[in-house]
Amino acid sequence: MVPSLPPDLWVLVVVLGLSLLVGVPLIRATVHLPARLETELVPEEALDPRQRGHFQALDAALAGAQYRPLLTCRAPNLQGANLMRIYGSDVEPAVIGAAVLRSKETAAGHLAQSYLEIITELEDGQRVYTRNPQTADLFDVPPGRQIEDLPGVSDPLKLLARHRLRVTQVKRSSARYHHGRDLLAEWREDHERFCRFQVERGLLRPDPSGERYRATTRLALRGVFSFFNPLADNFTLPRFAAGLLLGMALPALTIVATAGPAEALPHGLQWLQPLAGRIALSEPARLAAVGGAFALAGAAVGFVFTSKALVWGLLLGYLPLRLLDTGLGAWSWGFVLLMGWAADSVARWRHRRATLV
């Protein structure tokens, strides 16, 4: 017997089912990592003005903490474009990697992000990481790594202060400074160990060519569910509060203010009753006003949640319609889709502006 579900839950089930049906084979076929990482140095004169300006701003910020650039490099055989500047200090053992990334171009566009990764390696082989990436890591953490992700911390000095505190909490032996180390060779060796560990965990599988590792079904499933998880990637409580205020309040207030007198508010939202029907509009004018509110709210959501804009746009657009007796009929679903489209469009625009490689 087919279970009895509300229509909106049936929509979610169908969308998730189609995403699994299409997304899992697509990820298995297209996502891969090189078996051996290639690295190359990038001279300062090879940087374009935007890249140079980005790194020079970090140079100035980290100079106050006595960190200086050691080298700038890239890994040309990774799927997405990338660029990294590595910093070291003569008075502190941590190494800081400032990464600029652009994911592989797809029909949905590309994801651009810049993040910092601060690493302290101890003599006993343990490593302490403090990072601020804007996308969730789908891989398992190899043994010996203590990782803290702080996507809401953009100030490099605040991130460094947090890292220093973490090191004092987990430190069991002396730390290694960067002097005398081949950091690029260590990066290549670490990449190979990382890939072998992910194979052991069932997340990567060796390609028959021996030149790369491909995604397994397990990793593909993680990718699909991570896409639909609104709490993944760059979620923070301040962003969530801004999303509620900008993404849900504006459509809800517009619906209430333009509602007819017979449309009562549900229990728990009756405190909004004084606003009900305050703006008298014809039916076409009301639809236009509510549609505009959903579009503006979607744009705000896309500005706040750049890596989960579509999901948050649809979710925050759906909640007012679920909570309120809108009287909008079949138009309701169109407004939700409009909000999701607006959120996704603004997020893509932000990624295009943020692209440095």
Query: What is residue 162's three-state secondary structure?
Result: helix
Higher pLDDT among residues 202 and 324, named by residue: 202
Measure the CA–CA gap between 19 and 23, rounded to whole angstroms.
5
Give the pLDDT of residue 245: 87
Tokens of 33: 């990592």
Measure the CA–CA gap between 182 and 170, rounded to whole angstroms.
25
Q: Which of 132-136, 197-201, 224-228, 352-356 has the highest mean pLDDT?
A: 197-201
Cβ neighbors of 309 (< 8 A, separation 6 or more) are 301, 302, 343, 344, 346, 347
Tens-place pLDDT, residues 235-268: 888 889 998 888 888 898 888 888 765 455 554 4
Give the pLDDT of residue 17: 84
The DSSP line for 55-86 is HHHHHHHHHTTTEEEEEEEE-TTSSSEEEEEE
Are 65 and 89 a contacting pair, CB within 8 Å? yes
CA end-to-end distance (rounded Å), the chain: 53
Say if residue 207's pLDDT is above 50.
yes
Are 295 and 338 a contacting pair, CB within 8 Å? yes
Alpha helices in 145-182 (DSSP H): 156-170
Q: Exposure string (b/e) for 193-216, b if CB count within 10 Å is 16 or more?
A: ebbebbeeeebbbeeeeeebbbbb
Q: How far is CA 33 from the centre of its chain?
A: 20
Are 91 and 78 a contacting pair, CB within 8 Å? no
Smallest CA-to-CA distance from 75 within 93, 100, 54 is with: 100
Instruction: Name the average pLDDT for the chain.
Output: 88
Q: How far is CA 265 from the centre of its chain?
A: 36
Q: What is the DSSP letter of 133?
A: -
Q: Mean of the pLDDT values across residues 293-304?
A: 95
Q: Mean of the pLDDT values across residues 213-217?
A: 97
Side-chain-side CA neighbours of 328 within 13 Å: the count stands at 27
Give the pLDDT of residue 267: 47
Tokens of 183: 């950091």
Cβ neighbors of 348 (< 8 A, separation 6 or more) are 109
Strands of 10-166 (E only): list them: 32-34, 40-41, 67-74, 81-89, 95-102, 112-121, 127-131, 145-149
Say if residue 124's pLDDT is above 80.
yes
Q: Mean of the pLDDT values across residues 172-198?
A: 93
Tens-place pLDDT, residues 305-342: 888 899 999 999 988 877 776 667 778 888 999 999 99
Rounded (10°) angle between helices 7-30 and 217-228: 140
Domain locations in the chain?
Answer: 38-183, 237-354
Say if residue 276's pLDDT is above 70.
no
Measure the CA–CA gap between 208 and 91, rounded to whole angstroms.
47
Which residue reads 């509060």 in tokens?
A: 241
